Amino acid sequence: MATLGSLSLMLSASSGSMEKGIRRAKASLKSFGSGLAKLTSAVSTYGAAVVAAGAVAAVYFIKKQFDVIDSLSKLSDKIGVSTEALASFQLAAKLTGVGFTAVEKGAERLARLLGDARRGNETATKSFIDLGLSLEMIEKGSIEEVFGAIGDELKGTVDPALRASKAYGVFGRQALDMMNFLTLGSEAMKKNGVEAKKLGLTFSRELGANVERANDAMTRAISGVEGIFRQLAPKIANYISLIVEKFNAWVMAGEGVPGMATKIADVFKSVMRSILTTVEVAVLNAKKALLEMQTSFAFRALSGFDGEALSAARTELEEVNGILMQITLTGGTWANSLDLALIKMEKANAAAVKAREAARLLGEEKNKQAAAELKLSNALLAMEQKLDALQSARIQKNAAATAANFKAMIARGRKMVTSFSRDMMQRALDQVRTSVSTVNISGGFSAAAAGRNDSSSRTDLSILKESQQQTNLLSQIKSLLNGGVPAG
């Protein structure tokens, strides 16, 4: 009983301290609630923007699917292929990296060629037979079945050149673009059909018709809006001009667009600082409320009076109060950290800009140096070519002069030879004339000596013969001196 009475007395004595702690905790929680309210307001504002953006994205994707379904429905009517098959073709084209436009054109060409074959066109029939299709498949097979049969044949063709040639016979220029799609084969196409159905990509022609009607209605609605603005535009053109001119004048006034952008950035920065500071203060106030409860006498009595925990809680409470005081004087630490991070980013961006500018200037300097070196090299090459031309001209000139000198020398030599030959011939002629005269003077002895048989007569005959030879030589020399041709 004494122990209970002491405990009751202790609790009564500490009730005032506990009430003070609770009041402080309530105040902190109230501040925390106020901060949360501000944060909730900010989140609500931005949340509305996020919801609006999501709504716009949803409308965009729905309109895009309307266009896809409408296009597949119209293609189904054009070539006689079910919308389910076309949806599976579209999935297969994406998985094989083939554009669906190529598959669409290939399917149109296949349908047209298959129709020609069924009307008896031998060339079209041969194109399918070359791909291994039976006449029954050509006559009765659907587009999907023909696609699968062609795929099986191409898949089994090992030679790429032969495979391309076979596909070209049916699909023309689209063959290479859709080759990965064509070589899937019938089994893979069936699996793609099942997968497309499970993924919700397929739709019936009836649903496609509903979408077509909705898409047509949206097209008309959009056209109606376009018509409104088309009629409205000329009527408000003058007002728009005045507004735009005022806006341009406002933008160009003062610091212009850069100054306006700086102001907008400052406002955004201020908003972000406020949000961060509000969140930080709310968190600190919540922490402060918990610490004040931990340091109250009632909490200590109920928790067993742990001195170390109490000391740690009081120290942490003092730190929290100090941070709150600092926020009041200099702003939130989170906001200040944001400022420091932005400053570092600006410095890094400035350093990057300087580095890029230095690299650009260095590149320009290197380009200038390279251009100067090229110019100098071209100049040296031109000088070498000019020197070669001058040297060639000098050589030609010297050669011409030398040739002229040689010609003159040859002419002089010929003249000298001609003169010398005439002098020599004249001298020889004079000598021969003298010899002939001598022989004629001693005339009669030759006739007298004709009848003698001794050695003296033979000598006289030899002299006579020599005299005749000299006479013939004289005739030839005369002919040469007169420019004629000597007799044989």
pLDDT of residue 39: 56
Angle (CA) 286-289-290 rounded to 5° is: 90
CA distances from 140 to 86, 117, 135, 182 (A): 19, 11, 8, 20
Percent helix, percent strand, percent coil in the chain, to nearest 5: 90, 0, 10
DSSP 259-303: HHHHHHHHHHHHHHHHHHHHHHHHHHHHHHHHHHHHTSHHHHHHH
Q: CA–CA separation, 210 vs 204, rounded Å?
A: 10
Verdict on whether the full-model pTM lies above 0.75: no
| Contact predicate 87/203, CB 8 Å | yes
pLDDT of residue 445: 43
Dihedrals φ, ψ of 296, to 5°? -70, 155
CA-based R_g, the chain, Å: 60
Q: Which residue has the tokens 């009669």?
A: 444
pLDDT of residue 107: 85
What is the 8-class DSSP label of residue 94?
H
| Contact predicate 183/151, CB 8 Å | yes
Q: What is the mean pLDDT of each run of 10 residues along the chain (488 residues)?
A: 44 48 54 58 61 77 83 85 86 87 86 89 87 84 84 86 85 85 84 87 84 84 88 88 85 72 80 82 81 68 65 79 78 76 83 86 82 82 81 76 75 68 66 57 46 50 62 63 50
The tokens of 367 are what? 């380009």
* Residue 188 CB coordination number (10 Å): 18
pLDDT of residue 481: 54
Q: CA–CA separation, 370 vs 382, rounded Å?
A: 18
The tokens of 191 are what? 């699996």
The tokens of 132 are what? 């291994």
Question: Any residues with CB less than 8 A from the CB of 183 and at least 6 apart, and which?
Answer: 151, 154, 155, 163
Neighbour-count burial for 64-81, b at 16+ CB within 10 Å, e otherwise: eebebbbbbbebbeebeb
CA distances from 8 to 55, 60, 97, 158, 203 (A): 63, 71, 82, 98, 78
Which helix (H) or strand (E) element contains residue 410?
helix 333-441
Q: At what angle do helices 307-330 and 333-441 cross, to 10 degrees?
A: 60
Question: Any residues with CB less than 8 A from the CB of 342 and at least 6 apart, and which?
Answer: 269
Would you call 82 helix, strand, or coil by DSSP? coil
Q: At what angle do helices 83-96 and 186-198 cross, to 10 degrees?
A: 100
- Tell me whether residue 149 is exposed, middle or buried, using C-beta atoms within 10 angstroms of its C-beta: 0 to 12, 13 to 18, 19 or more: buried
| Contact predicate 124/113, CB 8 Å | yes
Q: CA–CA separation, 105 vs 100, rounded Å?
A: 9
| Contact predicate 189/223, CB 8 Å | no
pLDDT of residue 306: 65
| Contact predicate 109/171, CB 8 Å | yes
